[in-house]
Structure 1
Amino acid sequence: MASSSSVPWVEKYRPRKIGDVSHQEEVVRTLQKALETANMPHMLFYGPPGTGKTTCALAICRQLYGPDLFKSRVLELNASDERGISVVRNKIKGFASTAVGQAVPGYPCPPYKILILDEADSMTTDAQSALRRTMETHSKVTRFFILCNYVSRIIEPIASRCAKFRFKPLGSEVMSDRLKHIAEREGLTLGEGVYDAAAKHSGGDMRKAITLLQSSARLFGAKELTGEDIIAVAGAIAEDDVAELLDLCGKNAFDRAIGKLDVMLRDGFPGLQILTQFADAVTNSENCSDGVKARICLAAAEADKALIDGSDDSLQLGAVVSVACLAMSGK
């Protein structure tokens, strides 16, 4: 067994009970009521990454079956497993069709197994259709927990058979509380800007925020961590540099703004990262009218698509900066 010091903090501090899951109050309240009766329908959990979908599914299973029955009553498949139609017909159908064994004292141990399909929106339509038939046939002995980021990619016959639960992105206050708890347990000192930087550069993903904190602690040692440390580990650009670029655009100093862009690119920052942070700075700027923000963000969206398609970083960023200079100078 791995020592606690070698376990990723994401796993070490993963909630073991449904009541410990942060921020998803409505989901947690409903699931706790279902746990009291141990009569679970098929479940569909959807929402952004790192918001507690897998954690909730695993916590339910632990509370239903306990450690002894968990391995025999629960099967978890995620995106790393092949889940074409053959897997549904063989592995999933084989697990779903077998009868359940004896219960264990002290746990509800309802007379069904649970099959967790993580990131189910990456399954092919044919595989989902085969899964729908399996769900229908073996619902007496197996419950399905379908987990996905995009509920629109789940076929309607599956979605209509499940109780749907939407997981919200985590706010900065919720993240701060959790990171503070982990820091206290790990003996870390968190300085100014750590919580804001972790919340901003994780995008509401608690898993990413905890990983950033652990990576910073490993990289910078036991000294006091700062927001700059988190930004460095996240591979993000310093806020002052982005603000300076926006300021140069506001002064219509195109040549100097292009020079600033070149420095960022030579420092190794990817074009998409620069574009994302620049667009955020424009959106939050108090010096731009809504019309100016719309013009710049439209140019940024077009550049984003071009960069994903493989266009040159320097050219696309230069085009956005050009539009920003013109828009902010009233031209």
Structure 2
Amino acid sequence: MDFFGRPKADQQANKGKSATSIDGKPEGKPEDQLTPWVEKYRPKNINDVAAQEEVVQVLRKSLETKNLPHLLFYGPPGTGKTSTILALTRDMYGAEAMKTRVLELNASDERGISVVREKIKTFARSVVSQADPRYPSPPYKIIILDEADSMTTDAQAALRRIMEKYTRITRFCLVCNYVSRIIEPLASRCTKFRFKSLPRELAVQRVQMVAELEGVRCAEGAVAALVDCAEGDLRRAMMSLQSAARMIMNSGGELDARMVMELVGVIPEDIVVRLRAAWGGSAAGSAKAVQVLVDELVYSGFPASRVLSQLHDLTMVDQQLGSLQKAKIAMLMASVDKALCDGADEQLQLMDMMMQASAIVAQQA
């Protein structure tokens, strides 16, 4: 640095050069280290999409013929719906032309009729021109509406007319979790593709690949625990892996299944078994035992929704309960889950559920 704080000539010359590690390999860019792994390892083209063979096969044919209909992707979260349509548009237009030919909106934030009339309609009626000669793009643009099931009914009705009027120069792709929330006139204008949860083996393979590329040491069973806790959501499994990697970064150890369970908030199996065992016994003893267990769960910070989920799974495989008892307990848990979603007190709801379940177990099957 000189007197005025300006870098010297040699510092200026080395400013644009990338740093190298000890073994001579170039280090990653600083922005790559800050990028979430979900975005960093998102499929770049349609052939990189994991699973969903039927969907990929149909879209690959559409890519070859340049004849793409309006699309409706629906299915559980974390199954690759948004990644698939982004990979398709990247193959179709190229990275540069995508910036002007693809409009991606999150309908959960912009879901009113004003957005449809202004932003979507303005983009839909604009005419495209040939951009990159390496990508002989089709003469239409693509509008991606993520979480389209959050759009209001009026907004979906207004979107129906726009899809009809500008279909020659604009294609729409609606992405949602619940297809039943899309109005029928809108859904009938789209080709529907259902995305299934990824097979467990394929999800484990994908998470293991990312762990190896990022240098995360995983003990046996750790990756499987990440996938099992994610319950079919690959995005959630990847985010949990990145959080766990940061947790063990300073210690230099390896990730094991116990650490995964603590990270994602899984309730220990012995506590869930004790909850199930508290349904039996006398009324006074059962109430006292339930009160102790519920207080322990609440004070430990475990969410009531997780308690319901794990207790439900244990109940459904319990050989001591009859089919009618399981059905009643499942309906009870559903009503408690509804109350929790509406903002009810977790401790009171868990106490109520446990006492009613005790009464159901006490009845004859």
TM-score range, shorter chain: over 0.9
Matched letter for residue 305 of structure 2: L
1:314-325 alignment, distance < 5 Å:
314-325=347-358
Matched letter for residue 200 of structure 1: D
Say how many residue pairs are matched: 331
Instruction: Give the 3 Å change call, closer, same or farther, for CA 110–272 of structure 1 in structure 2.
Output: same
User: Is 1:205 the counterpart of 2:238 in the alignment?
Assistant: no
Instruction: Give the 3 Å change call, closer, same or farther, for CA 210–250 of structure 1 in structure 2.
Output: farther
Q: What is the rounded CA distance, in whole Å, between the counterparts of 1:285 and 1:260 in structure 2?
A: 20
Q: Which moved more, 1:157-166 or 1:291-300?
A: 291-300
C-alpha distance after superposition, 1:135-177 (max 9, x if no partner)? 1111111111111111111122211111110111223222111
Q: 1:84 touches 1:124 (CA, 8 Å); kept in 2?
A: yes
C-alpha distance after superposition, 1:110-132 (max 9, x if no partner)? 11111111111111111111111
Instruction: Give the 3 Å change call, closer, same or farther, for CA 231–251 of structure 1 in structure 2.
Output: farther
Instruction: Give the 3 Å change call, closer, same or farther, for CA 286–183 of structure 1 in structure 2.
Output: farther
Residue in structure 2 matched with residue 59 of structure 1 by the alignment:
87
Q: Which runs of 5+ in 1 are unaligned?
A: none
Matched letter for residue 241 of structure 1: I
Q: What is the rounded CA distance, in whole Å, between the counterparts of 1:2 and 1:74 in structure 2?
A: 28
User: Is 1:227 the counterpart of 2:260 in the alignment?
Assistant: no
Aligned with 1:305: secondary structure?
A: helix
Q: Tell which structure's C-alpha radius of gyration is larger.
A: 2
- Normalised TM-score (structure 1): 0.93
User: Is 1:69 the counterpart of 2:97 in the alignment?
Assistant: yes
Q: Which runs of 5+ in 2 are unaligned?
A: 1-28
**How much does 1:88 deviate?**
1.1
Q: 1:228 touches 1:238 (CA, 8 Å); kept in 2?
A: no
Kindly indicate whether structure 1 or structure 2 has the higher relative contact order, using CA contacts under 8 Å at least 6 residues apart. 1
Q: What is the rounded CA distance, in whole Å, between the counterparts of 1:111 and 1:38 in structure 2?
A: 9
Q: What is the rounded CA distance, in whole Å, between the counterparts of 1:285 and 1:247 in structure 2?
A: 11
Aligned with 1:105: secondary structure?
A: coil
Pick one of 100, 116, 137 that aligns with 2:165.
137
Q: What is the rounded CA distance, in whole Å, between the counterparts of 2:363 and 2:158 in structure 1?
A: 58
C-alpha distance after superposition, 1:64-115 (max 9, x if no partner)? 0111211011110014542311111111111111111124223241111111
Pick one of 242, 246, 256 that aligns with 1:218.
246
Instruction: Give the 3 Å change call, closer, same or farther, for CA 296–54 of structure 1 in structure 2.
Output: same
Instruction: Give the 3 Å change call, closer, same or farther, for CA 68–28 of structure 1 in structure 2.
Output: same
Pick one of 257, 279, 283 that aligns with 2:316.
283
Q: 1:135 touches 1:144 (CA, 8 Å); kept in 2?
A: yes
Aligned with 1:210: secondary structure?
A: helix
Q: Which moved more, 1:318-327 or 1:211-220?
A: 318-327
Pick one of 302, 312, 337 that aligns with 1:269.
302
Pick one of 344, 351, 356 that aligns with 1:311.
344
User: Is 1:258 the counterpart of 2:280 in the alignment?
Assistant: no
Q: What is the rounded CA distance, in whole Å, between the counterparts of 2:335 and 2:49 in structure 1?
A: 38
Q: 2:108 touches 2:147 (CA, 8 Å); kept in 1?
A: no
Specify which structure has the higher proportion of helix.
1
Q: 1:45 touches 1:146 (CA, 8 Å); kept in 2?
A: yes
Q: What is the rounded CA distance, in whole Å, between the counterparts of 2:114 and 2:343 in structure 1?
A: 35
Q: What is the rounded CA distance, in whole Å, between the counterparts of 2:324 and 2:158 in structure 1?
A: 49
Q: 2:108 touches 2:150 (CA, 8 Å); kept in 1?
A: no
Q: 1:38 touches 1:108 (CA, 8 Å); kept in 2?
A: no
Instruction: Give the 3 Å change call, closer, same or farther, for CA 18–287 of structure 1 in structure 2.
Output: farther
Q: 1:175 touches 1:195 (CA, 8 Å); kept in 2?
A: no
- Normalised TM-score (structure 2): 0.85
Q: What is the rounded CA distance, in whole Å, between the counterparts of 1:20 and 1:271 in structure 2?
A: 38
Instruction: Give the 3 Å change call, closer, same or farther, for CA 210–284 of structure 1 in structure 2.
Output: farther
